[in-house]
Every structure is written in structure tokens, then in C-alpha cells.
């Protein structure tokens, strides 16, 4: 009877308490009055909470006597009694003890640490910084925000025009690991095989992740293979997706260069919703339409219509007067036909990108939480190749293209990813089981081109194709991971000990799909009894013999220990063992420590070994492409490492080869030592020096030519003039130092100034050449066609050592007052170098001097819902130094003397048209933009 009376009584009391709840709305601001999005608002003693929106606003139903706990990274937590109020404004003050950003990359501890309290250096790029300036994709944002990161857009480099190669600390694109929410992200399918930075490497396509979906980016500048596995030799980039947004945010962007090209339109949207106080769902979308730029110069070929191949004078024009007369006739044809001597497009390609991402989590019963993440992207690109002049009949169809043609490579990139997982705490043991799927596909189409080997004639004009499907590349990765961690307190003499362990199973698959028949076939056409070029000009399609579908698996286990041995000494140790199904196993380890000398100054350092497994793309990629060497088209065969051409010894009578061993993992040793310091409440300084030694580094060889008798024998009757392949060939050492200083200055009640100075100085040296092939090592051929020289020539060495800027300095300032803000940034891109492969042409080696690029933006937040930013990138319209042009490379050089006559092969300007290097900061010039932000 008593229970029957109490039950309705409790029900009435509960209903009354619920009825007494009040909805509290308000804003969370900094001390200077700046909105603080993403701050956590929690009713103390409950799980009832929310996060602030883009303008720092929140709404939460609580009991009238509740106390709100309000916290945000970098600020002191505040306890605010409601006392029956329904409207609040809370101003946070900067934390005196946590001046840096809390990071989770570089440790498997259950709790994050400030980035000045970690054993390894970590840069943090916030969502605000990502959208502060003109850059619209992740790789370009990082290039200007993180001095140790470098990426630049390439030009006339096939698929690399569509995916920018990127590097960290001067190392290769495939020596930095990319994570999303701490989970390994799949690599791109594209192999960089042309003469660009990262030649021979396979990186990760960062452009598919919408900037609107990113909460922050953490850049770990230290080798971390023992923590995360293969590829983390240079460091780790961890992209943390938004998980705290509420409401709706959108922006529209437009920009173009001062030369009225490179027009870019961008629209993005992000909205977050709470899931009944038990979780969240954050969804983002992005559209970018980027136009091409063209900084080509005038073609110096003397003859467009009447010349020999490449526009040179025919042998019959053997006097100066004959050449003048012939050029006058040719100039008349140029004028009559309207031929434009700016006949290349040198600059960024045009692209169009549609992408979406989501991130969510939901708490189930009994402490379980499920989470999801990932997205999809569809990107098309259009990039030119080298043009074919009307005097190049072996590469053209003059019935279809009487004035020559400029062919285009059209790429379509499909990218999908999905993270799913479930996590739960069992007492103090945290368990996380997840699966991460990713796939990247790149399809090639060629248009404005021709297969010159097919029959030609007026009657075939409507038959011969001018557009081709040239095939596809695809890479798939699936990773299943089980992670366990527990933090112990006061364990014996240790203040804390965090123990993490886990296992991982990964499946990789790489696929090459053939192009259509006409894109690769040789139709048998001869011109003056000479063979003509096979396949679609600019990019011959993948052939049936190129097709592959290869897979491998990897099984790994790890152990990670981190302990505050005392309140001044932090020690971190990690070990990892892996076994690949295709080449064997590897064990890596790392030891790091941080020692507080005094409260404001600490020393930190780490020592470890790492590895990078050869990618499936490097093992199995093969194709034939048309590449221009000194203006002359060559059919270049890239052959995979398992092919008999690469493997077999020259003594094999049935298929002689280069005798190169199978690819094996690159191995590294990392050393770093650093200092962290803070002063007052707002100043931080980190200085970190490092050394990275890499053994058996994988390179893509230079092109072996038939001028070497051994190469001629190996290639036999294959319809190619050159061959290249992958091999473990060199050992390198990279040394450098990173410096980062930050200062926050309050200038008044509603104004503040943020100052940042950051720099990276690095030097990479090839310490030794270590070919495993006796065929290569014992070749006695004299000159540049010597096999050992070709496997790794001086052009490749210089590109690896000095192709990226060897220093970068970033100085920035952000000032806010009232509704207005102004941000200025100047970045010094250090010098780069190029070298000719032939040591007798060392006079063409060139150093491109350092340049400062200055950006400026002005913003206004008119209302809580509406803000506007206008700005300029490269304010002073700075371009790189120009590539050297030999005086003989001149269209008005009429000399008939072979020692002084016209020659375009005496420099690297490609007939005077290609005069800028892309590898510092590109060559787009000044760029203006405006961005409108809407927050609801």
C-alpha cells in the first residue's frame, strides 16, 4: 500500500520539477568581446549540455537553481549560477596555465594536452584561420599557415595537375600520414611520374575534404610510425571534423587574379544538430569552381608551318637570307590563319569540385557510444598538354588540325570515405572499435587530340576520333582497428600512467583499367616511311597489358605508454609491429620526454625509428606516355617493379633486364630536441630541431634511353624510346629547425591583437647511392647514358635536395576592434634549385631566389547573422625568378652557322614559353577575393 502511495507522489514531484525548468539563452564571448563558437555549456552535475554556435550563442533548458559550467580551449572554465535568469552573457578569460591549443595527435592518452606540454611539436590551425585568407582548399591553407608544410600547383604534368603534391619538413608526399578524426585516411590512386616535386610518390588528396567541415588541423612534426604505422616518417596531419557546431553556417566566395583569370567561385554550408542531448550530427557541403590561369610566353619557334619538327629551319635553308625569306613566308601564313604564338597554357588547371562530409555520434544505453564520419567528393579537371605545331605531321592529323592543336587531359576524381565505430568505458578502461573505408578513383579522358597512327585523309575526317577515354586508376583501403586505453593515477612512484594497446588489420587494393582501343592502338600509318605516334596524343590510354588488380593485407599491433613520472617529467614510449602480406614485417619504436626546468620553460625531445611500406601503386603501376625532352616527343614506358625488364639479369637470354631487386620498405631514424617557453599570460615559444635519416628511399628512375647498348637490348622491339621504373636507390639525411612564437595582446575592452612568427629551416642531403643491381653498378658506359647515373641523375638529386623551399618564414597579425577585423600575413618562401641531368650542361643549373608573399584581409561582422571579408593574396604581385633563356633561342635568329644558329635545346624554357617554376609559391600573381558569411 505504501509503495502504491509513493509511486504517484514521486511522479508528481518529477513532473513538477520538469515543469519548473527554464530555457536559458545567451552568448559566450572572450574578454575582448569576440564570439566563442564551440564552447561547451553544461548544467553542473548532469549530462545536460550544449555547444555554442558560430556567434557564441546557446540555448539550454535547465532548473532555475542550476549552475552552468562553461569551458573552451585556451580559456579558464567558469561556473555561472542561473539564479532564475533566462538570459546570460559570459566573458571568458584566457587560461594562465593552458596557453596553447589542446591536441590529441602524437599521443594515445585518454586526455589531450596543450601543444606546448607535449613531447613532440604540434601545430594547430583553427577553423577561423582556415577561412581567414584567400586559400580555398586544405593543401593551400596549410602551405601558408604551417611553415613546415609545402604544396604548390603544378602545370602540364598530366594527372598531377589535378592533385597537388605536398610535403612536410622537405620530405616526400608519401612520407607524411594523413588522419581524419585520428583514423588513417586512404591515399590517392595517382602516381606522380612526371618531373614534379614528389616524383615517384603517392600522396593523399587533401582537396576532397571541405574546409567547412573542419574544426581544426593538427600537424605533428615528428616521426610517428610507432604510433600510427607506415608513412609517418616526416609527421602526421590529423584533420579533426566539426563536432560542436549548432545552427546553420554558410559562405559564398568569389576571387580572381589581376589578369582576370583564375576565377574561383565557392559556396559551402555547415549545419549541426543536437540529438536529444545524447549526441550530435554535423553535415557540411562544398562547391568550388576554379578557373585556369595562363602565364605562358610567346613561342620562339622560327617556323610554325614551313619548318622541320619543332619549328626549326629545314636543312635546305642553309643561308641567312634563305632563312629570312622562309620566315617571312611563314609569318604571312601565321597572320593569314590567325595562329596565336602564345600557343601553350601554363598555369593552374581548371577544376570543379562537389563534396560533402558528415560527422556524428550518439550515446546508446549502458555507456555505449556509436560514431560515424566520412564523405564523398566528385571533382572534374581540365589541364592542357604541350601543343603540336602544324609542322609536326607524325604527331598530328593535318586534315583535322591544319593549324596544329593543343590537347587537353580531362580528369574525373571520385573519392569516398566512411568511418564507423563504437566506444565504451568499462570503469577506467576505454575501448574503441572502428572501421575506416576509403576509395579514390581517377578517370582520364583526352580531347582536342588525335591518334596520329590511324589512317588520315579528307574522307576520314568524320571517322577519326578527337576525344578518347584513356582509362582509370583506383585505390581502395579498409582498416579495422581496436584500441584500448586506461589511465592510472598514483601508481607506485608514478603520478600518472596511461597505457594504450591495440591491433589493426588493413586491406589495400590498386587497380588500373584500360582505355578505349583507339586511345592506345598503333594504326600503322607511316609518314615519309617513318612511324607515327601511337595512341591519343598528350596521354596514350592504358593498354591491356597495363591492367592490374592487386591487393595486400597488413596486420599490426602496438603498445603505447605515457607517464607523468613527476609533475615536471613526462615520458612517452611506443612500439609497433607490422606484417605485410607482400614484403614482410617491420618493428618500430619511439621514446619521448618533456622536462620542466622551471614553470615557464621546458625541454623536450624524442628518438625513434620508422618505416614506409612501398605503395601498391609503386609496385604495380605501368603505362606508356608521350613526354617532351628538349622539345622532342618521346614514348616513355613506366614499367612496374615486378616486370622482367626490371627484375631479370642481363645474362638471361630470353628476357634480359636491369637486375633490380623487389621493392622493400624505406626505414628511418628520427631525432628531435626542443624547448618550450611561456611568458605572462599570453606568450608562447617553441623551438624544435630535428634529424631524419632514411635508408633505401624509393625513387622513380630517370629515363633510360636506347643510346645505351644495354638498354637497347633490354627494350628490344618494344615501340618505346625510353623506360623508367621504381627502385630503392638512395639514403638521405634531413636536418632542420622549427620555431613558433605566439602573442595575444588585449588593447582594450573590445579589441585585441594576435601576433604569430613561425619558421622552418631544413636541409636534405643524399648521402649515398645504393643500387642493388650489379647490372646497373657495373655498367662501364661513358656519359649520361651510364645506367648508374640514369637510375638517379643529378636533376633528380637536386629536385629531392632543393626542389622545395629550404626555408619558410611566416609572420602574421590579426587585429579586432568592435565589428571590424584586419589580418595581415607575409610568408617568405626560401630559395629552390634546379639542375640539368647532364653534368656537361651544368650551366643550366639555376637558383631561384627567396620571395616574400603578402596577404591582407579586412572583415566586418555587421550582425550576428551576417559578415563580410574582402582581401588580396600576393598583394604586391610577386612572381618567381624567370627560367634562363639562351640568346640563341630567339625566333629572329637567322644565323646559318651551327655554332650560333637557332636552338631551343640550350635551355629549359621549352621554346621560351615556360618561364616560371611552380615549386615555390606558384606563378599566379596578385589575387583578389571576397567572402560573405551567413550564420543562422
pLDDT digits 0-9 by tens, 279-312:
899 999 999 999 999 999 999 999 999 998 789 9
The predicted model gives 586-592 an average pLDDT of 94
Using 50, 70 and 90 to split pLDDT, how confident is the model at 902? very high
pLDDT at 760: 95
User: Which helix (H) or strand (E) segment is 199 a member of?
Assistant: none
Q: What are the cell numbers at 130? A: 582556415
Share the mean pLDDT of the chain: 88
Grid cell 640539368 in the structure block, residue? 836
Nearest to 22 by CA among 39, 43, 36: 43
Cα three-residue angle 796-163-692, rounded to 5 degrees: 45
Return the bridge partners of 588, or none. Answer: 576
26-45, pLDDT tens digit by residue?
Answer: 888 875 556 777 678 888 76
Nearest to 154 by CA among 192, 189, 196: 196
Residue 387 DSSP one-character state: -
pLDDT at 33: 59
The predicted model gives 610-618 an average pLDDT of 93
pLDDT at 745: 84
E strands, 449-493, where?
467-491
Nearest to 409 by CA among 377, 448, 436: 448
pLDDT at 46: 66
pLDDT at 103: 62
Name the range with the highest mean pLDDT among 86-95, 632-641, 684-693: 684-693
796-833, pLDDT tens digit by residue?
Answer: 999 999 999 999 999 999 998 888 999 999 999 999 99
The predicted model gives 890-913 an average pLDDT of 94
Q: Provide, for the chain, the percentages of residues in helix, strand and coil under a 3-state DSSP scheme, each rounded to the nearest 5.
A: 15, 45, 40
25 CB-contact burial (10 Å; exposed 0-12 / middle 13-18 / buried 19+): exposed
14 CB-contact burial (10 Å; exposed 0-12 / middle 13-18 / buried 19+): exposed
* Distances in whole angstroms, Cα of residue 776 to Cα of each of 641, 651, 660, 703, 796: 15, 13, 8, 14, 17
User: Which helix (H) or strand (E) segment is 800 a member of?
Assistant: helix 794-802
Torsional sign, CA 295, 301, 303, 307 = negative
Q: What are the cell numbers at 927? A: 589575387
Q: What is the DSSP string of 565-630?
A: SSSSEEEEEEEEEEEETTTEEEEEEEEEEEEEEETTEEEEEEEEEEEEPPPHHHHH--EEEEEEET
248 CB-contact burial (10 Å; exposed 0-12 / middle 13-18 / buried 19+): middle
544 CB-contact burial (10 Å; exposed 0-12 / middle 13-18 / buried 19+): exposed
Return the bridge partners of 731, or none. Answer: 768
Using 50, 70 and 90 to split pLDDT, how confident is the model at 630? low
Nearest to 372 by CA among 181, 521, 500, 561: 181
Return the bridge partners of 217, or none. Answer: 125, 239
Q: What are the cell numbers at 161? A: 595537375
What CA dihedral angle connects 57, 61, 65 and 68, to 10 degrees?
Answer: -40
Cα separation of 170 and 760, whole Å? Answer: 10
Nearest to 636 by CA among 713, 545, 710, 724: 724
Percent of the chain with pLDDT over 70: 92
pTM for the full predicted model:
0.86
Residues in the chain: 936
Using 50, 70 and 90 to split pLDDT, how confident is the model at 7? very low
Cα separation of 610 and 177, whole Å? Answer: 12
Query: Which residues, in sequence order, are CB contacts of 905 under 8 Å at separation 6+?
Result: 630, 631
529-569, pLDDT tens digit by residue?
Answer: 888 888 999 999 999 999 999 999 999 999 999 998 988 89
652-696, pLDDT tens digit by residue?
Answer: 777 788 989 899 999 999 999 999 998 876 788 999 999 999 999
Per DSSP, helices labelled H in 77-232 are 127-130, 138-145, 225-228
pLDDT at 514: 96
Return the bridge partners of 600, or none. Answer: none
Using 50, 70 and 90 to split pLDDT, how confident is the model at 627? low
pLDDT at 101: 58
882 CB-contact burial (10 Å; exposed 0-12 / middle 13-18 / buried 19+): middle
pLDDT at 98: 38
3-class secondary structure, 203? coil
pLDDT at 66: 80
Return the bridge partners of 772, or none. Answer: none
Using 50, 70 and 90 to split pLDDT, how confident is the model at 462? low
Cα separation of 210 and 472, whole Å? Answer: 24
User: Which helix (H) or strand (E) segment is 256 a member of?
Assistant: strand 247-257
Residue 459 DSSP one-character state: G
pLDDT at 19 over 50: no
Amino acid at each position: 500500500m505504501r509503495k502504491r502511495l509513493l509511486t504517484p507522489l514521486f511522479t508528481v514531484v518529477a513532473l513538477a520539477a520538469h515543469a519548473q525548468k527554464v530555457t536559458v539563452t545567451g552568448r559566450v564571448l572572450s574578454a575582448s568581446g569576440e564570439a566563442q563558437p564551440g564552447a561547451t555549456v553544461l548544467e553542473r552535475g548532469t549530462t545536460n549540455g550544449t555547444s555554442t554556435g558560430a556567434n557564441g550563442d546557446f540555448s539550454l533548458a535547465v532548473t532555475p537553481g542550476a549552475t552552468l559550467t562553461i569551458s573552451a580551449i585556451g580559456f579558464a572554465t567558469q561556473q555561472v549560477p542561473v539564479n532564475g535568469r533566462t538570459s546570460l552573457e559570459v566573458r571568458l578569460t584566457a587560461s594562465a596555465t593552458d596557453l596553447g591549443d589542446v591536441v590529441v595527435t602524437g599521443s594515445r592518452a585518454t586526455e589531450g594536452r596543450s601543444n606546448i606540454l607535449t613531447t613532440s611539436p604540434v601545430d594547430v590551425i583553427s577553423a577561423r584561420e582556415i577561412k581567414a585568407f584567400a586559400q580555398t582548399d586544405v593543401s593551400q591553407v596549410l602551405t601558408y599557415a604551417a611553415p613546415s608544410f609545402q604544396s604548390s600547383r603544378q602545370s602540364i604534368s598530366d594527372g598531377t595537375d589535378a592533385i597537388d603534391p605536398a610535403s612536410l619538413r622537405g620530405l616526400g608526399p608519401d612520407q607524411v600520414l594523413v588522419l581524419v578524426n585520428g583514423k588513417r585516411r586512404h591515399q590517392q590512386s595517382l602516381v606522380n611520374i612526371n618531373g614534379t616535386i614528389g616524383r615517384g610518390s603517392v600522396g593523399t588528396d587533401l582537396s576532397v575534404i571541405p574546409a567547412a567541415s573542419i574544426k581544426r588541423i593538427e600537424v605533428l612534426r615528428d616521426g610517428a610510425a610507432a604510433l600510427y604505422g607506415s608513412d609517418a616518417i616526416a609527421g602526421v596531419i590529423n584533420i579533426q571534423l566539426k563536432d560542436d557546431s549548432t545552427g546553420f553556417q554558410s559562405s559564398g566566395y568569389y576571387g580572381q587574379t589581376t589578369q582576370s583569370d583564375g576565377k574561383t567561385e565557392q559556396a559551402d554550408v555547415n549545419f549541426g544538430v543536437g540529438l536529444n542531448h545524447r549526441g550530435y550530427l554535423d553535415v557540411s557541403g562544398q562547391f568550388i569552381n576554379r578557373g585556369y590561369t595562363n602565364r605562358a610566353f610567346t613561342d620562339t619557334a622560327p617556323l610554325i608551318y614551313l619548318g622541320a619538327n619543332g619549328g626549326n629551319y629545314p636543312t635546305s635553308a642553309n643561308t641567312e637570307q634563305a632563312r629570312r625569306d622562309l620566315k617571312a613566308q611563314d609569318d604571312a601564313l601565321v597572320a593569314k590563319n590567325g595562329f596565336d604564338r602564345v600557343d601553350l597554357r601554363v598555369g593552374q588547371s581548371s577544376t570543379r569540385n562537389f563534396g560533402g562530409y558528415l560527422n556524428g555520434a550518439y550515446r546508446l544505453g549502458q555507456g555505449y557510444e556509436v560514431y560515424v564520419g566520412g564523405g564523398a567528393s566528385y571533382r572534374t579537371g581540365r589541364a592542357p598538354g604541350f601543343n603540336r605545331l602544324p609542322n609536326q605531321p607524325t604527331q598530328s592529323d593535318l586534315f583535322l588540325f591544319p593549324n596544329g592543336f593543343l590537347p587537353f587531359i580531362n580528369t574525373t576524381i571520385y573519392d569516398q570515405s566512411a568511418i564507423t565505430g563504437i566506444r565504451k568505458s568499462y570503469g577506467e578502461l576505454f575501448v574503441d572499435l572502428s572501421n575506416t573505408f576509403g576509395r579514390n578513383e581517377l578517370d582520364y579522358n583526352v580531347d582536342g587530340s588525335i591518334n596520329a597512327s590511324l589512317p588520315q585523309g579528307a574522307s576520314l575526317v568524320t571517322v577519326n576520333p578527337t576525344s578518347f577515354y584513356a582509362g582509370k586508376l583506383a585505390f581502395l583501403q579498409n582498416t579495422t582497428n581496436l584500441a584500448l586505453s586506461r589511465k592510472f593515477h598514483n601508481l607506485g612512484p608514478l603520478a600518472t600512467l596511461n597505457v594504450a594497446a591495440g591491433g589493426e588489420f588493413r586491406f589495400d587494393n590498386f587497380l588500373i583499367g584500360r582505355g578505349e582501343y583507339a586511345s592506345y592502338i598503333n594504326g600503322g600509318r607511316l609518314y615519309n616511311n617513318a612511324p607515327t605516334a601511337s595512341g591519343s596524343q598528350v596521354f596514350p590510354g592504358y593498354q591491356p597489358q597495363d591492367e592490374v588488380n592487386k591487393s595486400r593485407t597488413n596486420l599490426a599491433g602496438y603498445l603505447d605508454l605515457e607517464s607523468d613520472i613527476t609533475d615536471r617529467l613526462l615520458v612517452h614510449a611506443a612500439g609497433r609491429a607490422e606484417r605485410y602480406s607482400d614484403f614482410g614485417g617491420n618493428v618500430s619504436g619511439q621514446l619521448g620526454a618533456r622536462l620542466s626546468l622551471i614553470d615557464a620553460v621546458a625541454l623536450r625531445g624524442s628518438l625513434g625509428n620508422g618505416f614506409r611500406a612501398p605503395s601498391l601503386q609503386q609496385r604495380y603501376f605501368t603505362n606508356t606516355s608521350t613526354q617532351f625532352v628538349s622539345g622532342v616527343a618521346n614514348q616513355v614506358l613506366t614499367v612496374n617493379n615486378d616486370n622482367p625488364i626490371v627484375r631479370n639479369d642481363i645474362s638471361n637470354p630470353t628476357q634480359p633486364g636491369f637486375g633490380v631487386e623487389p621493392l622493400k620498405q624505406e626505414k628511418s631514424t628520427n631525432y628531435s630536441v626542443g624547448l618550450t617557453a611561456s611568458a605572462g599570460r599570453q606568450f608562447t615559444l617553441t623551438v624544435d630541431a630535428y634529424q631524419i635519416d632514411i635508408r633505401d628511399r624509393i625513387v622513380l628512375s630517370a629515363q633510360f634511353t636506347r643510346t645505351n647498348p644495354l638498354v637497347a637490348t633490354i627494350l628490344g622491339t618494344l615501340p618505346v624510346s625510353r623506360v623508367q621504373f621504381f627502385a630503392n636507390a638512395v639514403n638521405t639525411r634531413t636536418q632542420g629547425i622549427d620555431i613558433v612564437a605566439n602573442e595575444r595582446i588585449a588593447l582594450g575592452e573590445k579589441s585585441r591583437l594576435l601576433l604569430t612568427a613561425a619558421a622552418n629551416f631544413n636541409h636534405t642531403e643524399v648521402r649515398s647511392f645504393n643500387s642493388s643491381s650489379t647490372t646497373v653498378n657495373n655498367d662501364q658506359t661513358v656519359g649520361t647514358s651510364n645506367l648508374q647515373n640514369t637510375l638517379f641523375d643529378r636533376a633528380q638529386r637536386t629536385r629531392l635536395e632543393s626542389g622545395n623551399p629550404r626555408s619558410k618564414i611566416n609572420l602574421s597579425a590579426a587585429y579586432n576592434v568592435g565589428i571590424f577585423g584586419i589580418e595581415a600575413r607575409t610568408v617568405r618562401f626560401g630559395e629552390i634549385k634546379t639542375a640539368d641531368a647532364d653534368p656537361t650542361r651544368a650551366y643550366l643549373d639555376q637558383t631561384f631566389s627567396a620571395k616574400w608573399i603578402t596577404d591582407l584581409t579586412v572583415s566586418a561582422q555587421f550582425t550576428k547573422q551576417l559578415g563580410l571579408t574582402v582581401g588580396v593574396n600576393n598583394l604586391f604581385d610577386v612572381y618567381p625568378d624567370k627560367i634562363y633563356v639562351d640568346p640563341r633561342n630567339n625566333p629572329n635568329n637567322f644565323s646559318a652557322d651551327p655554332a650560333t644558329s637557332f636552338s631551343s635545346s640550350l635551355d629549359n624554357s621549352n621554346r621560351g614559353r615556360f618561364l616560371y617554376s611552380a615549386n615555390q609559391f606558384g606563378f599566379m600573381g596578385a589575387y583578389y577575393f571576397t567572402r560573405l558569411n551567413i550564420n543562422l
